[in-house]
Structure 1
Amino acid sequence: MALESPMQSFWEEVTCPVCLEDFTAPVTLECEHNFRQAPLSPQCRGTEQQGPLQPNQQLVKVVELAKQLSFQAAKRARWDGMCEEHQEAMKLFCEEDQTPICVAYDRSQAHMVVPLQEASQEYKEKLEAHLKALREEREKLLRRKTTAERKSQEYLKWIQVESQMIVAEFHQLRQFLEEHELRLLTQLEKLDEEIGRFQADTFRKLSMQISSLSEWIGELEEMCQKPASEFLQDIRSTLSRCETGEFQLPEEISPELEEQVSSFSQKTIALSETLREF
C-alpha cells in the first residue's frame, strides 16, 4: 500500500466524514466530533444531536490554511517540472496561460504552445535586450551623476573664491570710505572755521559801521533841534558830509567761500549717487 503524503493526510483531517467535502462552517457536537452542517455523526453512531451545535472557528482557520498550502504546493510542483495530474515532465509552455504544461495537455483549447526550452530562450533574449537597455541607461545616469558632482564642486569652489573676493573688496572699500570720510570731514571742518572767521569779521565791520552811523544820526538829530541861526551855520559842510558819507555794506560771504561750499556740495551729491548704486 502506497504511503499517504503529509498533505493528503492533512486534507483528510479537514474533510467532512459525511459529505467528504472540505469543512464549510463546521460545527462541533457534544461528542466533540466535527461535521459540515449535517444532522448525523457517523463517528459517534448518534441518530439525533442533543443540545445546540457549536461553530468551530478554529477549524475554519485550519481549512483556510490547508487551501493555501495546497495551492502553493501545486504551483511549486508545476514549476518544479512535473505535472501533478498526469505525472509527466513539463516540456511545453502555454503562452496564453504563461505556465509550463506536459505533453498530455488538452489540445482542444486554441492556445499557443511552444517547447519549454524554446520559450525560456525567447524570454531570456527579451530580458537580455531589456537588461542591455537598462545597463545603458544606468551608465548614462552614472555619467550624469559624475558630471553633476564635478559641476557642483566647481560651483562650490567658485562660490568660495567669489566670497573671499567680495570680503577683500569690501574690506578695501571700507578703508577707502573711511579715508574719504575723514578727508571730507577735515575739509568740512576747515570750511566751517573759515566761514566762522569771515562771519566774525563781517559782524565786526557791521558793528563798527552801525556805531559810526548811530553817532552821525545823533549829531544830525541834535543839529535839527538848534535855532535857525545856529542850524544854518556850516550847513553846506554838513550836507556835503551826508552826500559823501555813504556806508559800504560788507559781503555776506566771500566768492572764494561760496565756491568752496558749492564744490563741497557737489562732492556730497556724487558720493550719495555712488553709494546708491550698491
Structure 2
Amino acid sequence: MASRRQVKSLSEEAICPICLDFFVDPVILECEHNFCRSCITQSWEKKEINSCPECREEFPERNFRVNRTLANLAEKSRKLNLDPKAKENKRHCEKHQKELKLFCETDKKLICLICRDSREHKSHNFRTPEEVVQIYKSQLECSLDSLIEKKSAVLELELNQKQKISEVREQANGLQTNITSEFTKMHQILTEKEQRLLRDLREEEERILEPIEKNLREIQENLNSIEEKLLKLQEQMEQTDEQIFL
C-alpha cells in the first residue's frame, strides 16, 4: 500500500500550477511544462506574448500537445479523494517542524519537545495541551455561569422596564381620552352658553329699540307736517298778486 508521503507526491504531480487543482484536459508545452488546456488558453488570451507561466519561455506559435498520461494520473488522484488544497489538521512548530505536544504556561503558547529543552524555555512550566484545555474550559464554564446569571438579571430588568413603559403609555392613553372627553363637554357647554347669550342680547336689543324707533317715527311724522306747512308758507310768500295774497 502506498505510504502517505507517496500519495502526497502523487497528488502534487497531478496539480495544475495555474488553478492549483487536479488537471482537467492537461496539455504539455514545448518546454515540457503541463497545464490545463483552459488555464493556459486563458493565460495566453490575457497576454500579447505566448510564454510559459512556469519558465517564461516564449513561443512563436500557440502550440501544445495533449498529455494523456498526466490526464490518467489526475483521474487516479481524483478517485483517491485527494484534496490538493487541503492542509494538515495538526499544527507544527515553525522553528523545528515538529508536532506541538506541550503548552508553555510561562509564555502562554504551544511548543514542541525540542523547544522545551531549549534555553529559550529554561525553568518554564509546562503542561500537556489536554490539561490546559481542561483548565481553561473550567475557567470558561465559571465565566459562562456568571454571564448566564448576569444575562438573567439583565433580562429581568429589561422586562420590568418594558412593563413600566407599557403602564405609562396605558395611563397616558387613558388621560388623553379623559382630556378629550372633558374638553368636548366644555366646548358643548360654551357653545350652548354662547347661543343663549346671543339670544338674550337680541331680545334686549329689541326691547330697547322698540320705544326709540316709535319715537323716531313720531318725530318723522311731525317733521313731515312741518315741512308741508313750510311749503305752503313759502308759496304764499312768493305770491306777488296782492289781492290773491290777501
What TM-score do you get using the length of structure 1 for normalisation? 0.49
Give 1:161 deviation, angstroms: 1.1
* Matches of 1:8 and 1:193, distance apart in 2: 124
**CA–CA separation in structure 1 for the residues paired with 2:7 and 2:209:** 120
1:167 aligned onto 2:180: yes
Superposed displacement of residue 207, structure 1 = 1.2
- Structure 2: stretches of 5+ with no match in the other structure: 18-22, 35-62
Q: How many residues align?
A: 192
Distance in 1 (CA, whole Å) between partners of 2:228 and 2:16 is 141
Scaled by the length of structure 2, what TM-score is found?
A: 0.54
Indicate if the aligned counterparts of 2:103 and 2:127 stay in contact, CA closer than 8 A. Answer: yes
2:219 alignment counterpart:
206
Match of residue 156 from structure 1: 169
Name the structure 1 match of 2:200: 187
Q: Which of 1 and 2 has greater Rg?
A: 1
- Offset, 1:10: 4.0
Q: Structure 1: state its 5+ residue gaps.
A: 17-21, 31-35, 39-50, 79-83, 231-278
State the partner residue of 2:88.
Answer: 71
Q: Distance in 1 between matches of 2:26 and 2:224?
A: 140
Report how far residue 66 of structure 1 moved.
2.9
> Displacement, 1:142?
1.1
1:115: how far off? Answer: 0.6
One-letter amino acid of the structure 2 residue matched with residue 37 of structure 1: H
- Name the CA distance, whole Å, in 1 between partners of 2:225 and 2:5: 145
The change in CA–CA distance for 1:155 and 1:197 in structure 2 (over 3 A counts) is: same
Q: Deviations over 1:39-60 (max 9, x none)?
A: xxxxxxxxxxxx824588995x
| 2-structure distance, mates of 1:109, 1:213 | 146
Distance in 2 between residues matched to 1:165 and 1:219, nearest whole Å: 79
From 94, 111, 118, the equivalent of 1:108 is: 118
2:10 aligned residue (10, 13, 20): 13
Higher relative contact order (CA 8 A, sep 6+): 2
Supply the AA of the counterpart residue of 2:10: E
% identical aligned pairs: 21
CA distance in 1, matches of 2:98, 2:9: 19
Match of 1:93 among 66, 87, 103: 103
Structure 1 residue 146 displacement after superposition: 1.4
Preserved contact between residue 10 and residue 66 of structure 1 (Cα < 8 Å):
no
Matched-pair contact (CA < 8 Å) for 1:94–1:113: yes
Distance 1:133 1:13 in 2: 53
